[in-house]
Chains A and B, each alone.
Chain A
Amino acid sequence: MAPFDIAVIALILMFAPVILAPCCAGSRSLAIHLSFTMTAAASIAAVIAGILAVQHGVNTTAIVDMGLPDLPFHLRLDPLAGFFLCVIGLLAFFVSIYSIGYVKGFSANRSIVRFVIFYSLFIVGMFLVVLADDAFFFLVAWELMAASSYFLVMYEDEKAENRRAAYLYLVIAHVGAIAILLSFGVMAGLANGFESFQGYTFASMRATTYPLGWATAAFFLSFFGFAAKAGVIPLHVWLPEAHPVAPSNVSALMSGVMLKASIYGIIRITFDFLKVYPWWWGGIVLSLGLVSAVLGVLYALMQHDLKRLLAYHSVENIGIILIGLGLAMLFTSFHLPVLAALALIAALYHTLNHAMFKGLLFMGAGAVLHATHERNMEEMGGLIHKMPWTAVFFLIGCVSIAALPPFNGFVSEWLTFQAFLLSPALHRPILSLLIPLGAALLALTGALAAACFVKAFGVTFLGHWRGHASIQAVKEVDWHMRIGMLLAAITCFSLGIFPTVVINWMDILAEKLVGGKIATTAGKFGWMWLTPYAHERASYSSFNVFIGILSVVLVTYLLLHAKRTAIRRVPAWDCGFARTTSRMQYNATSFSMPIRRIFGPLFHIREESEAIQPVRHPAYPEKLRYRLRVRDRFWTWLYEPIGNVAFFVARLVGNLQQGRIQVYLIYSFVTIIVLLVFLG
């Protein structure tokens, strides 16, 4: 069966719950099981379709006779689409399994049908975005994705913060969508057959060569639109608002794959339609990526809401992906296809990895939320004893996102580093000077990310329980959710261990888009060695790393446990300090305090502490109240001014309508006179 047919099956299966769920609305559990089983099946189908499409480099097109009569819906499955189809499907599969358990936990007065419908529509939208092959259909799919995710964010609509977040999200997304629309307009206008609606098809956009000015307009319009959706700083503010309040399985999808849809869009337009461009485009993309990466992780460090923290990390990782894309664009504009291929592969690989581990982390956070009904890390701690499975999976997620070998996050970041280090090949001294600094920033990002996830895992799962509610109520989540997380964890691990296999698989993308392949198997022993550029340039074998560590650990363990040795459990020593309570632990805020001090100027910090009881001695107050508020600077820099200006203008415009009919008559009078003067 051809990949495209499988993809179609996936679409149909994915859409089915929209109709079926209302039918079995009577039985809650039936609705849940049926719908999510179907979505899971659909996702698997999508994964298969995607894998095959990339494997065989298929290029199937189809036309659905819908939409405008002269502009029917064009679909196309090519390797790029296939790759993203695979990414989306993979995570959607895990999340669907997970959702069976998670959705059961919703309070009984919530409509399951409503959730299921928008959930399916959301994934269908994402599938269609990558499959669409004309501007109109693309935008329909794009906005379908946006709108349905909006309703999912709004799902618990009685909470004001959800409504606010959803509103912010939809506005930014829609403004972005209009920008994308305009960029398509530019390209369609230059493509031939505009008058006959044919210019709107991607085929004719692909066939056109664009003058530089228009190309620039198209690129930056679309980049703005996609960046708004991807949460690139400074357009990121909706992201940390919307992702935490959405149901966790949805946030997993939004953060894991919806953001990737915009990466897809950028790649599609840049490498597929425009093809040729000056180097400074890449420069801009690269620097935006760096800014997002560093600021994203720094803001993440300041959060104590687990899901908010993860959301800011999505900003960071999108930044890393953009770094790869920017480098790829730079190399392309200097006609270095192989290096461009390296950078592009790095970006795509990170796209895949981020989908996996961010999905995993959000599922883990969801599990914690499910068990403790709490998002605030300051109220958690010691969960590893209550939720061992979740702890393991979450730890794997942390290790992956912190880019530690041998897990997958490291591979893509390492590739990005390699791409950075190859920048001296650019025949621009200034570039080869500046770009390694970017590498340093990337290193900073990585290290901060590690810090952040030590904090996330340590505060949430380790130490003592900080919450006010009793920890006895906390239970490990059910097996659906565990399986969902387990699969994601396994994927993270295997993507880390067998990068060469994956890269061989997706090398065709680079070949099609930037016209270069990276010889990944130049190493001595084939798949074991990842040698992106040349064997003596750099090499990495995560397999060896894993085996090496494993063997040493085993050997030492066996040696040390040769004879039975007892372990005595005692209260913690803690330098002999007695009576340590759980409030004395380091918590999220105190953990990030040094970094807050060091990077202070980047945040909008309000910190106040007061002694709120009669103090005997100023040095030893009975009780202190400490308040800390760390805000995103971009609110005050960008968004509040925009809002104020808008309302100011609105007030001015309001003066037009000031109630007195004479004035209105004067308007029309003056209008006539003016028109007559100018045209009469």
Chain B
Amino acid sequence: MEWLSEFGAIAAMQGFNGLSVFCVLLLMALGLAIIFGQMGVINMAHGEFLTIGAYTTFVVSSLTSSYAPAFGPYYFFLAIILSFFIAGAIGWLVEWAMISKLYQRPLDTLLATWGLSLVMQQGFRSIFGAREVSATLPDWLMGSWNPTEAIDIPRNGLFVMGLTLLLTALLFLMIYRSRWGLQVRATMQNRVMARSVGINTKRVDRMTFALGCGVAGVAGAAFTTIGSTGPTAGSLYIVDTFLVVVFGGASSLLGTIASAFSIAQAQSLLEFFTSGSMAKVFTLSAVVLILMLRPQGLFSAKVRK
């Protein structure tokens, strides 16, 4: 009997782990999904925008502990908001200086943003040093929540989950309910037509890109609770992120969500029953195999081209 309840507890925690990996993947991918899915732009520097968020959090954390220790428990919210705006602003600049000149050449965007990621990595190294840094987390983010004796639900996992849900909901509202979202979708469907009905497509592009980068910044801030902050931390995420978006079919947010979910569950289960390395190989292979059988991704409408 005791064995059974323990088994239940582990199953519950493992289930939570699957959800938590799902949220991490989704959070990483959201910004990219907006940029890639809505604009067709491949941003290889996406990981570095995550890192901007992480370093922002680190700076806010250090400043808080030196100048306003009383504010310690709450600095994280400020860090998230700042991360959004800083990453967004840099994204805005990048769109203005680079991306806007490459819209006709998606593969070249991919290469140019790769160059950008090198520059950004070295930038982080010059500013913050080669070593990894660690933001001090407020106590309420540490430790776990125990619904029963045997179950530990990590609080940072809950936090990431909540943040993911909130962000996803906001993005859904923005893209599918707001006037701005309508303009974005109109621009993506038919640029010329959108322009002729008075939409400033350049501005829409710029804002979309900035939004995607801002979301990446928020993700980066959130990841300081579960991962490392260093100049090359972003490159750890980039391939997984792309796979999630591509696997999801690139054009719909729903697809991205579904694909993050399936990859996360597969990974989490395989990790539990095999081992870390093998799980990674199996998951990636499965994704590639499925992409070969269904190159358009999991979710994409059949349309007359």
B is a partner of A: no
**Which A residues form the contact surface with B (CB < 8 A)?**
none
